Structure 1
Amino acid sequence: TGWREDRNGAGFNSPCIGWCTGKIKTTVVYPATEKHLQKYLRQELSLIQETGEDYKKITLPFIESQSFSIQWVYNILEKKAEADRIIYENPDPAHGFVLIPDLKWNQKQVDDLYLIAICHCRGIKSLRDLTAEHLPLLKNISREGKEAIVKRFGIGGAQLRVYLHYQPSYYHLHVHFTALGYDAPGCTVERAHLLSDVIDHLERDSQYYQKCTLTFALRADEPLLKKFQEAGRV
Protein backbone atom coordinates (compact mmCIF):
# COMPACT_ATOMS: atom_id res chain seq x y z
CA THR A 1 0.00 0.00 0.00
CA GLY A 2 1.06 3.64 -0.35
CA TRP A 3 0.04 7.15 -1.24
CA ARG A 4 -0.26 8.66 -4.67
CA GLU A 5 -1.01 12.10 -6.12
CA ASP A 6 -1.40 13.34 -9.67
CA ARG A 7 -1.01 16.94 -10.81
CA ASN A 8 -4.77 17.54 -10.72
CA GLY A 9 -4.93 16.37 -7.13
CA ALA A 10 -7.02 13.35 -8.12
CA GLY A 11 -5.06 10.98 -5.97
CA PHE A 12 -3.93 13.24 -3.15
CA ASN A 13 -4.09 11.40 0.16
CA SER A 14 -5.76 8.46 -1.58
CA PRO A 15 -4.44 5.03 -0.63
CA CYS A 16 -3.63 2.87 -3.65
CA ILE A 17 -3.42 -0.88 -3.40
CA GLY A 18 -1.92 -2.90 -6.24
CA TRP A 19 -1.43 -6.61 -6.66
CA CYS A 20 -0.63 -9.06 -9.42
CA THR A 21 -2.22 -12.49 -9.86
CA GLY A 22 -1.11 -14.55 -12.82
CA LYS A 23 -1.26 -12.22 -15.82
CA ILE A 24 -3.80 -9.80 -14.37
CA LYS A 25 -2.62 -6.70 -12.51
CA THR A 26 -5.18 -4.66 -10.59
CA THR A 27 -5.02 -1.26 -8.91
CA VAL A 28 -7.71 -0.20 -6.45
CA VAL A 29 -8.12 3.47 -5.54
CA TYR A 30 -10.29 4.16 -2.51
CA PRO A 31 -12.07 6.40 -1.83
CA ALA A 32 -12.74 7.23 -5.49
CA THR A 33 -13.76 10.79 -6.28
CA GLU A 34 -15.21 12.33 -9.44
CA LYS A 35 -11.66 13.30 -10.43
CA HIS A 36 -10.61 9.66 -10.25
CA LEU A 37 -13.53 8.63 -12.47
CA GLN A 38 -12.68 11.28 -15.06
CA LYS A 39 -9.02 10.31 -15.01
CA TYR A 40 -9.72 6.69 -15.95
CA LEU A 41 -12.46 7.33 -18.52
CA ARG A 42 -11.44 7.22 -22.16
CA GLN A 43 -11.18 10.81 -23.38
CA GLU A 44 -10.15 12.66 -26.50
CA LEU A 45 -6.54 13.82 -26.42
CA SER A 46 -5.04 16.97 -27.88
CA LEU A 47 -1.37 17.28 -28.79
CA ILE A 48 0.18 20.52 -27.52
CA GLN A 49 3.33 22.05 -28.97
CA GLU A 50 4.53 24.30 -26.18
CA THR A 51 7.17 26.87 -27.11
CA GLY A 52 9.40 28.52 -24.53
CA GLU A 53 7.14 31.57 -24.68
CA ASP A 54 4.03 29.41 -24.24
CA TYR A 55 5.55 28.02 -21.07
CA LYS A 56 6.22 31.50 -19.67
CA LYS A 57 2.83 32.96 -20.67
CA ILE A 58 0.47 29.98 -20.29
CA THR A 59 1.85 26.94 -18.47
CA LEU A 60 3.93 28.54 -15.71
CA PRO A 61 1.18 31.00 -14.63
CA PHE A 62 -1.25 28.07 -14.61
CA ILE A 63 1.07 25.98 -12.41
CA GLU A 64 1.61 28.88 -10.03
CA SER A 65 -2.14 29.55 -9.77
CA GLN A 66 -2.93 25.99 -8.67
CA SER A 67 -2.58 24.44 -5.24
CA PHE A 68 -0.64 21.35 -6.25
CA SER A 69 0.49 19.95 -2.93
CA ILE A 70 3.80 18.06 -2.98
CA GLN A 71 4.15 17.78 0.78
CA TRP A 72 4.03 14.00 0.35
CA VAL A 73 7.26 14.28 -1.69
CA TYR A 74 8.94 16.27 1.07
CA ASN A 75 7.76 13.67 3.60
CA ILE A 76 9.63 10.99 1.64
CA LEU A 77 12.78 13.12 1.36
CA GLU A 78 12.66 13.89 5.09
CA LYS A 79 12.06 10.20 5.99
CA LYS A 80 8.67 11.00 7.47
CA ALA A 81 7.06 8.54 5.06
CA GLU A 82 8.13 5.43 3.14
CA ALA A 83 11.64 5.45 4.63
CA ASP A 84 11.62 1.65 4.62
CA ARG A 85 11.07 1.63 0.85
CA ILE A 86 14.18 3.63 -0.06
CA ILE A 87 16.50 1.54 -2.25
CA TYR A 88 19.34 4.06 -2.37
CA GLU A 89 20.08 7.62 -1.27
CA ASN A 90 22.66 10.26 -2.06
CA PRO A 91 21.98 12.77 0.76
CA ASP A 92 23.69 15.76 -0.87
CA PRO A 93 21.13 18.64 -0.74
CA ALA A 94 22.04 19.99 -4.18
CA HIS A 95 23.13 16.93 -6.16
CA GLY A 96 21.54 14.06 -4.24
CA PHE A 97 18.35 12.03 -4.54
CA VAL A 98 16.42 9.08 -3.14
CA LEU A 99 15.55 6.04 -5.23
CA ILE A 100 12.30 4.25 -4.36
CA PRO A 101 10.07 1.67 -6.08
CA ASP A 102 7.09 3.14 -7.89
CA LEU A 103 3.79 2.08 -6.35
CA LYS A 104 2.80 0.44 -9.63
CA TRP A 105 5.57 -2.15 -9.15
CA ASN A 106 5.08 -4.93 -6.60
CA GLN A 107 8.83 -5.85 -6.56
CA LYS A 108 8.04 -9.54 -7.05
CA GLN A 109 9.57 -9.72 -10.54
CA VAL A 110 11.95 -7.56 -12.57
CA ASP A 111 10.14 -7.76 -15.92
CA ASP A 112 8.13 -4.67 -14.96
CA LEU A 113 10.78 -3.04 -12.76
CA TYR A 114 9.82 0.58 -12.04
CA LEU A 115 11.65 2.94 -9.69
CA ILE A 116 11.63 6.70 -9.18
CA ALA A 117 14.58 8.94 -8.32
CA ILE A 118 13.39 12.04 -6.44
CA CYS A 119 15.93 14.86 -6.15
CA HIS A 120 16.63 16.49 -2.79
CA CYS A 121 16.93 19.94 -4.34
CA ARG A 122 13.65 21.82 -4.09
CA GLY A 123 12.35 24.34 -6.58
CA ILE A 124 13.04 22.35 -9.77
CA LYS A 125 9.50 21.88 -11.04
CA SER A 126 10.16 20.11 -14.32
CA LEU A 127 12.31 19.75 -17.41
CA ARG A 128 11.71 23.45 -18.15
CA ASP A 129 13.72 24.54 -15.08
CA LEU A 130 16.83 22.54 -15.93
CA THR A 131 20.07 24.28 -16.95
CA ALA A 132 23.71 23.24 -17.13
CA GLU A 133 24.07 23.90 -13.38
CA HIS A 134 21.92 20.81 -12.81
CA LEU A 135 24.22 18.50 -14.78
CA PRO A 136 25.97 17.14 -11.64
CA LEU A 137 22.56 16.20 -10.21
CA LEU A 138 21.37 14.56 -13.43
CA LYS A 139 24.64 12.66 -13.90
CA ASN A 140 24.51 11.44 -10.29
CA ILE A 141 20.99 10.15 -10.80
CA SER A 142 21.99 8.38 -14.00
CA ARG A 143 25.20 6.80 -12.72
CA GLU A 144 24.31 6.05 -9.10
CA GLY A 145 20.74 5.00 -9.91
CA LYS A 146 21.97 2.41 -12.40
CA GLU A 147 24.63 1.18 -9.98
CA ALA A 148 22.05 0.76 -7.21
CA ILE A 149 19.67 -1.13 -9.50
CA VAL A 150 22.26 -3.57 -10.82
CA LYS A 151 23.47 -4.20 -7.26
CA ARG A 152 19.97 -4.75 -5.85
CA PHE A 153 18.08 -6.27 -8.79
CA GLY A 154 20.75 -7.49 -11.20
CA ILE A 155 19.52 -5.32 -14.07
CA GLY A 156 22.29 -3.50 -15.94
CA GLY A 157 22.11 0.00 -17.36
CA ALA A 158 21.71 -1.26 -20.94
CA GLN A 159 18.44 -2.95 -19.88
CA LEU A 160 16.96 0.19 -18.33
CA ARG A 161 14.88 3.01 -19.76
CA VAL A 162 15.71 6.18 -17.76
CA TYR A 163 13.57 9.21 -18.49
CA LEU A 164 11.67 12.29 -17.31
CA HIS A 165 8.05 13.12 -18.03
CA TYR A 166 6.82 16.36 -19.51
CA GLN A 167 4.28 17.29 -18.39
CA PRO A 168 5.14 15.57 -15.11
CA SER A 169 2.45 14.15 -12.84
CA TYR A 170 3.78 16.32 -9.96
CA TYR A 171 5.96 19.40 -10.00
CA HIS A 172 9.12 18.29 -8.22
CA LEU A 173 11.92 16.92 -10.37
CA HIS A 174 11.95 13.13 -10.52
CA VAL A 175 13.36 10.55 -12.92
CA HIS A 176 11.81 7.23 -13.94
CA PHE A 177 13.79 3.97 -14.15
CA THR A 178 11.95 1.12 -15.88
CA ALA A 179 12.91 -2.23 -17.39
CA LEU A 180 13.57 -1.68 -21.08
CA GLY A 181 11.16 -4.45 -22.10
CA TYR A 182 8.33 -3.05 -19.98
CA ASP A 183 5.76 -0.90 -21.78
CA ALA A 184 5.38 1.41 -18.80
CA PRO A 185 2.58 3.99 -18.63
CA GLY A 186 3.88 7.33 -19.89
CA CYS A 187 6.89 5.99 -21.81
CA THR A 188 5.44 7.19 -25.13
CA VAL A 189 7.39 9.58 -27.35
CA GLU A 190 5.14 12.58 -26.66
CA ARG A 191 5.78 12.45 -22.92
CA ALA A 192 9.03 10.68 -22.08
CA HIS A 193 12.44 12.36 -22.47
CA LEU A 194 15.47 10.09 -22.05
CA LEU A 195 17.78 11.31 -19.30
CA SER A 196 20.80 10.72 -21.54
CA ASP A 197 19.29 13.05 -24.16
CA VAL A 198 18.49 15.69 -21.52
CA ILE A 199 22.10 15.63 -20.31
CA ASP A 200 23.39 15.90 -23.89
CA HIS A 201 21.13 18.86 -24.69
CA LEU A 202 22.22 20.74 -21.57
CA GLU A 203 25.90 20.09 -22.28
CA ARG A 204 25.41 21.69 -25.70
CA ASP A 205 23.20 24.58 -24.55
CA SER A 206 22.60 25.52 -20.90
CA GLN A 207 19.30 27.22 -21.77
CA TYR A 208 18.03 24.49 -24.10
CA TYR A 209 14.88 23.72 -22.12
CA GLN A 210 13.99 27.38 -21.67
CA LYS A 211 13.94 27.84 -25.46
CA CYS A 212 12.91 24.60 -27.12
CA THR A 213 9.42 23.47 -28.13
CA LEU A 214 8.11 20.54 -26.07
CA THR A 215 5.23 18.39 -27.25
CA PHE A 216 2.78 16.65 -24.91
CA ALA A 217 -0.79 15.37 -24.87
CA LEU A 218 -3.62 16.68 -22.70
CA ARG A 219 -6.98 15.07 -21.96
CA ALA A 220 -10.15 16.91 -22.88
CA ASP A 221 -11.01 17.62 -19.24
CA GLU A 222 -7.64 19.07 -18.21
CA PRO A 223 -7.71 22.75 -17.20
CA LEU A 224 -4.35 23.41 -18.87
CA LEU A 225 -5.85 22.47 -22.23
CA LYS A 226 -8.49 25.16 -21.75
CA LYS A 227 -5.72 27.70 -21.12
CA PHE A 228 -4.05 26.80 -24.40
CA GLN A 229 -7.40 26.96 -26.19
CA GLU A 230 -8.14 30.40 -24.74
CA ALA A 231 -4.72 31.57 -25.93
CA GLY A 232 -5.45 30.29 -29.45
CA ARG A 233 -2.60 27.76 -29.30
CA VAL A 234 -4.73 24.67 -30.01
Structure 2
Amino acid sequence: MNTELQMHNDIYCTFYLSPPPEMSEIKATVVYPATEKHIQKYLRQEVHLIRESWEDYKNITLPFIQSQSFSIQWVYNILQKKAEADRIVHENPDPSNGFVLVPDLKWNQNQLEDLYLIALVHRRDIKSLRDLTAEHLPLLRNILQEGKEAIVKRFGVPSSQLRIYLHYQPSYQHLHVHFTALGYDAPGSSVERAHLLADVIDNLAMDSLYYQKRALTFPLRADEPLFKKFQEAGKV
Protein backbone atom coordinates (compact mmCIF):
# COMPACT_ATOMS: atom_id res chain seq x y z
CA MET A 1 0.00 0.00 0.00
CA ASN A 2 1.49 3.35 -1.08
CA THR A 3 0.67 6.32 1.15
CA GLU A 4 1.03 10.05 0.51
CA LEU A 5 0.55 12.58 3.31
CA GLN A 6 -1.73 15.45 2.27
CA MET A 7 -2.39 17.25 5.57
CA HIS A 8 -1.19 17.05 9.16
CA ASN A 9 -2.72 19.16 11.93
CA ASP A 10 -2.18 18.06 15.54
CA ILE A 11 -3.80 14.62 15.87
CA TYR A 12 -5.49 14.77 12.45
CA CYS A 13 -3.91 13.52 9.22
CA THR A 14 -5.19 13.06 5.69
CA PHE A 15 -3.53 10.50 3.41
CA TYR A 16 -4.02 9.42 -0.18
CA LEU A 17 -3.74 5.64 -0.37
CA SER A 18 -2.91 3.62 -3.48
CA PRO A 19 -3.65 -0.10 -3.10
CA PRO A 20 -1.56 -2.61 -5.07
CA PRO A 21 -3.09 -3.81 -8.38
CA GLU A 22 -4.17 -7.17 -6.96
CA MET A 23 -6.32 -5.33 -4.41
CA SER A 24 -7.83 -2.67 -6.66
CA GLU A 25 -9.93 -4.64 -9.12
CA ILE A 26 -13.32 -3.31 -10.19
CA LYS A 27 -16.33 -5.57 -10.76
CA ALA A 28 -18.53 -4.54 -13.69
CA THR A 29 -21.87 -5.95 -14.85
CA VAL A 30 -22.63 -5.36 -18.54
CA VAL A 31 -26.12 -5.37 -20.09
CA TYR A 32 -25.88 -5.59 -23.87
CA PRO A 33 -27.88 -4.85 -25.85
CA ALA A 34 -29.69 -2.70 -23.27
CA THR A 35 -33.32 -1.75 -23.82
CA GLU A 36 -34.74 1.65 -22.88
CA LYS A 37 -36.19 0.03 -19.73
CA HIS A 38 -32.72 -1.18 -18.72
CA ILE A 39 -31.31 2.31 -19.17
CA GLN A 40 -34.10 4.00 -17.22
CA LYS A 41 -33.62 1.53 -14.35
CA TYR A 42 -30.15 2.93 -13.63
CA LEU A 43 -30.92 6.64 -14.06
CA ARG A 44 -31.61 8.78 -11.00
CA GLN A 45 -35.19 10.04 -11.19
CA GLU A 46 -37.86 11.65 -9.04
CA VAL A 47 -39.73 8.91 -7.17
CA HIS A 48 -43.38 8.71 -6.10
CA LEU A 49 -45.22 6.26 -3.83
CA ILE A 50 -48.21 4.48 -5.34
CA ARG A 51 -50.97 2.97 -3.19
CA GLU A 52 -52.39 0.20 -5.37
CA SER A 53 -55.75 -1.38 -4.50
CA TRP A 54 -56.72 -4.78 -5.91
CA GLU A 55 -58.96 -2.96 -8.38
CA ASP A 56 -56.03 -0.77 -9.43
CA TYR A 57 -53.96 -3.89 -9.97
CA LYS A 58 -56.63 -5.49 -12.18
CA ASN A 59 -57.46 -2.33 -14.11
CA ILE A 60 -54.09 -0.56 -14.39
CA THR A 61 -51.06 -2.63 -13.38
CA LEU A 62 -51.96 -6.05 -14.79
CA PRO A 63 -52.99 -4.80 -18.26
CA PHE A 64 -49.76 -2.78 -18.37
CA ILE A 65 -47.65 -5.83 -17.42
CA GLN A 66 -49.39 -7.96 -20.03
CA SER A 67 -48.70 -5.35 -22.71
CA GLN A 68 -44.96 -5.33 -22.06
CA SER A 69 -42.39 -7.53 -23.80
CA PHE A 70 -39.49 -7.22 -21.33
CA SER A 71 -37.52 -10.44 -21.83
CA ILE A 72 -36.79 -12.73 -18.89
CA GLN A 73 -35.05 -15.35 -21.02
CA TRP A 74 -32.06 -15.03 -18.71
CA VAL A 75 -34.24 -16.44 -15.88
CA TYR A 76 -35.26 -19.42 -18.00
CA ASN A 77 -31.61 -19.97 -18.99
CA ILE A 78 -30.70 -20.37 -15.30
CA LEU A 79 -33.64 -22.67 -14.59
CA GLN A 80 -32.79 -24.83 -17.61
CA LYS A 81 -29.06 -24.72 -16.77
CA LYS A 82 -28.21 -23.12 -20.10
CA ALA A 83 -26.35 -20.41 -18.19
CA GLU A 84 -24.80 -19.93 -14.75
CA ALA A 85 -25.13 -23.63 -13.93
CA ASP A 86 -21.80 -23.52 -12.12
CA ARG A 87 -23.12 -20.72 -9.87
CA ILE A 88 -26.09 -22.67 -8.47
CA VAL A 89 -25.85 -22.88 -4.69
CA HIS A 90 -28.95 -25.06 -4.21
CA GLU A 91 -31.77 -26.51 -6.28
CA ASN A 92 -35.06 -28.16 -5.45
CA PRO A 93 -36.07 -29.66 -8.82
CA ASP A 94 -39.77 -30.13 -8.04
CA PRO A 95 -41.68 -28.42 -10.90
CA SER A 96 -44.38 -27.02 -8.60
CA ASN A 97 -42.64 -26.43 -5.30
CA GLY A 98 -38.99 -26.18 -6.35
CA PHE A 99 -36.55 -23.38 -7.03
CA VAL A 100 -32.95 -22.54 -7.87
CA LEU A 101 -30.77 -20.46 -5.53
CA VAL A 102 -27.99 -18.44 -7.19
CA PRO A 103 -25.78 -15.48 -6.20
CA ASP A 104 -27.12 -12.15 -7.40
CA LEU A 105 -24.94 -10.44 -10.02
CA LYS A 106 -24.44 -7.53 -7.61
CA TRP A 107 -22.50 -9.80 -5.23
CA ASN A 108 -18.92 -10.74 -6.11
CA GLN A 109 -18.91 -13.55 -3.51
CA ASN A 110 -15.62 -12.31 -2.03
CA GLN A 111 -17.06 -11.13 1.28
CA LEU A 112 -20.09 -11.96 3.38
CA GLU A 113 -20.90 -8.38 4.45
CA ASP A 114 -22.90 -7.81 1.25
CA LEU A 115 -24.09 -11.39 0.69
CA TYR A 116 -26.89 -11.42 -1.89
CA LEU A 117 -28.60 -14.45 -3.44
CA ILE A 118 -31.80 -14.93 -5.43
CA ALA A 119 -34.24 -17.86 -5.36
CA LEU A 120 -35.95 -18.32 -8.75
CA VAL A 121 -39.02 -20.56 -8.74
CA HIS A 122 -39.38 -23.24 -11.40
CA ARG A 123 -43.03 -22.38 -11.99
CA ARG A 124 -43.67 -19.83 -14.71
CA ASP A 125 -47.25 -18.93 -13.80
CA ILE A 126 -46.47 -16.75 -10.76
CA LYS A 127 -45.52 -13.20 -11.65
CA SER A 128 -45.43 -11.50 -8.25
CA LEU A 129 -46.82 -11.19 -4.75
CA ARG A 130 -50.27 -10.45 -6.24
CA ASP A 131 -50.55 -14.00 -7.66
CA LEU A 132 -49.79 -15.80 -4.40
CA THR A 133 -52.45 -17.79 -2.54
CA ALA A 134 -52.40 -20.54 0.10
CA GLU A 135 -51.80 -22.99 -2.77
CA HIS A 136 -48.26 -21.67 -2.95
CA LEU A 137 -47.41 -22.14 0.73
CA PRO A 138 -45.42 -25.40 0.17
CA LEU A 139 -43.28 -23.56 -2.42
CA LEU A 140 -42.71 -20.54 -0.18
CA ARG A 141 -41.90 -22.69 2.84
CA ASN A 142 -39.40 -24.68 0.78
CA ILE A 143 -37.66 -21.48 -0.30
CA LEU A 144 -37.53 -20.16 3.25
CA GLN A 145 -36.27 -23.35 4.90
CA GLU A 146 -34.03 -24.80 2.19
CA GLY A 147 -32.62 -21.39 1.29
CA LYS A 148 -31.55 -20.73 4.87
CA GLU A 149 -30.04 -24.21 5.20
CA ALA A 150 -28.11 -23.91 1.92
CA ILE A 151 -26.66 -20.52 2.88
CA VAL A 152 -25.50 -21.59 6.32
CA LYS A 153 -23.96 -24.73 4.81
CA ARG A 154 -22.15 -22.96 1.96
CA PHE A 155 -21.33 -19.58 3.51
CA GLY A 156 -21.69 -20.11 7.26
CA VAL A 157 -24.21 -17.29 7.65
CA PRO A 158 -26.98 -18.17 10.14
CA SER A 159 -30.62 -17.46 9.33
CA SER A 160 -30.77 -14.84 12.09
CA GLN A 161 -28.39 -12.73 10.00
CA LEU A 162 -30.38 -12.98 6.76
CA ARG A 163 -33.02 -10.66 5.33
CA ILE A 164 -35.34 -12.80 3.17
CA TYR A 165 -37.93 -10.89 1.18
CA LEU A 166 -39.90 -10.31 -2.02
CA HIS A 167 -40.16 -7.05 -3.93
CA TYR A 168 -43.40 -5.41 -4.94
CA GLN A 169 -43.34 -4.21 -7.63
CA PRO A 170 -40.62 -6.63 -8.74
CA SER A 171 -38.14 -5.58 -11.41
CA TYR A 172 -39.12 -8.62 -13.51
CA GLN A 173 -42.34 -10.61 -13.58
CA HIS A 174 -41.22 -14.06 -12.46
CA LEU A 175 -41.52 -14.89 -8.77
CA HIS A 176 -38.19 -14.65 -7.00
CA VAL A 177 -37.03 -14.19 -3.41
CA HIS A 178 -34.06 -12.12 -2.20
CA PHE A 179 -31.61 -13.37 0.44
CA THR A 180 -29.29 -10.63 1.72
CA ALA A 181 -27.00 -10.15 4.69
CA LEU A 182 -28.93 -8.37 7.44
CA GLY A 183 -26.22 -5.75 7.87
CA TYR A 184 -26.18 -4.92 4.15
CA ASP A 185 -28.31 -2.00 2.98
CA ALA A 186 -29.28 -3.79 -0.21
CA PRO A 187 -31.03 -1.90 -3.03
CA GLY A 188 -34.79 -2.33 -2.70
CA SER A 189 -34.69 -3.59 0.90
CA SER A 190 -36.54 -0.52 2.21
CA VAL A 191 -39.99 -0.74 3.79
CA GLU A 192 -41.89 0.63 0.78
CA ARG A 193 -40.81 -2.22 -1.48
CA ALA A 194 -39.68 -5.25 0.55
CA HIS A 195 -42.05 -7.86 2.04
CA LEU A 196 -40.46 -10.38 4.40
CA LEU A 197 -41.05 -13.93 3.18
CA ALA A 198 -41.93 -15.17 6.69
CA ASP A 199 -44.64 -12.48 6.91
CA VAL A 200 -45.97 -13.38 3.46
CA ILE A 201 -46.26 -17.03 4.54
CA ASP A 202 -48.11 -16.07 7.74
CA ASN A 203 -50.47 -13.77 5.85
CA LEU A 204 -51.38 -16.45 3.32
CA ALA A 205 -51.84 -19.04 6.07
CA MET A 206 -54.41 -16.71 7.67
CA ASP A 207 -56.14 -15.76 4.43
CA SER A 208 -55.53 -17.46 1.09
CA LEU A 209 -56.62 -14.32 -0.79
CA TYR A 210 -54.67 -11.88 1.37
CA TYR A 211 -52.73 -10.39 -1.55
CA GLN A 212 -55.85 -10.20 -3.72
CA LYS A 213 -57.63 -8.14 -1.08
CA ARG A 214 -55.21 -5.63 0.40
CA ALA A 215 -53.75 -2.47 -1.03
CA LEU A 216 -50.00 -2.51 -1.66
CA THR A 217 -47.64 0.46 -1.68
CA PHE A 218 -44.63 0.68 -3.99
CA PRO A 219 -42.33 3.35 -5.45
CA LEU A 220 -42.33 4.38 -9.10
CA ARG A 221 -39.99 6.77 -10.88
CA ALA A 222 -41.63 9.73 -12.57
CA ASP A 223 -40.46 8.61 -16.02
CA GLU A 224 -41.83 5.07 -15.76
CA PRO A 225 -44.72 4.24 -18.11
CA LEU A 226 -46.66 2.58 -15.28
CA PHE A 227 -46.49 5.82 -13.29
CA LYS A 228 -48.04 7.62 -16.25
CA LYS A 229 -50.84 5.02 -16.31
CA PHE A 230 -51.63 5.77 -12.67
CA GLN A 231 -51.54 9.50 -13.44
CA GLU A 232 -53.96 9.08 -16.33
CA ALA A 233 -56.29 7.14 -14.05
CA GLY A 234 -56.21 9.98 -11.50
CA LYS A 235 -54.56 7.81 -8.87
CA VAL A 236 -51.53 10.06 -8.23
TM-score band by shorter chain is 0.7 to 0.9
Which is further off, 25-34 or 68-77? 25-34
Q: Tell me, in whole angstroms, the C-alpha distance in 2 between the residues paired with 1:127 and 1:185.
A: 18
Post-superposition offset of 1:41 = 2.9
- TM-superposed CA distance for 1:35, in Å, is 4.9
Q: How many residues align?
A: 214
Structure 2 match to 1:146: 148
Q: How far apart, in 1, do the equivalents of 2:201 and 2:29 lie?
A: 36
Deviation readout 1:93-126 (Å, 9 max, x if unpaired): 0000000000000000101000000001111000
Instruction: Report what 1:113 is aligned to.
Output: 115
Query: Which residue type is aligned with residue 164 of structure 2?
Result: V
Mapped contact 2:134–2:209 kept (Cα < 8 A): yes
Deviations 1:56-83 (A, max 9, x none): 0000000001112212111110111111
Match of 1:4 in 2: none
Identity %: 76
Change (3 A) 1:145 1:229: same
Q: Does 2:68 align with 1:66?
A: yes
Bigger-Rg structure (1/2): 2
In 1, distance between residues paired with 2:37 and 2:205? Answer: 40
* Offset at residue 42 of structure 1 (A): 2.2
Unaligned runs of 5+ in 1: 1-19
- 3-state DSSP of counterpart to 1:186: coil
1:29 equivalent to 2:30? Answer yes
Contact 2:116 2:181 in 1 (8 A): yes
Instruction: Report the CA distance shift for 1:38/1:65 in structure 2 as closer, same or farther (over 3 A).
Output: closer
Where do 4+ consecutive residues of structure 1 move more than 2 Å?
A: 24-42
Distance, in Å, in 2 between the alignment partners of 1:155 and 1:217 is 30
C-alpha distance in 2 between matches for 1:51 and 1:106: 38
Distance 1:35 1:94, change over 3 A: closer
Residues 115-139 of structure 1: CA deviation (Å, up to 9, x unaligned): 0000011110000000000000000
- Give 5+ residue unaligned stretches, structure 2: 1-21
1:12 is aligned to: none
Paired residue for 2:174? 172
- The CA RMSD over aligned residues, in Å, is 1.8
Cα distance in 1, alignment partners of residues 127 and 23 from structure 2: 36
- Structure 2 partner of 1:76: 78
1:156 aligns with 2:149: no
**Hey, what's the Cα distance between the residues in 1 that align with 2:53 and 2:26?**
38
Q: C-alpha separation between the residues in 2 aligned to 1:34 and 1:171?
A: 17
| Separation in structure 2 between the aligned mates of residue 30 and residue 118 of structure 1, nearest angstrom | 20
Q: Which position in structure 1 is the counterpart of 2:87? A: 85
For residues 49 and 25 of structure 1, the distance between their equivalents in structure 2, rounded to whole angstroms, comes to: 39
Pick which of 29-38 and 186-195 moved more.
29-38
CA drift of 1:33 comes to 6.4
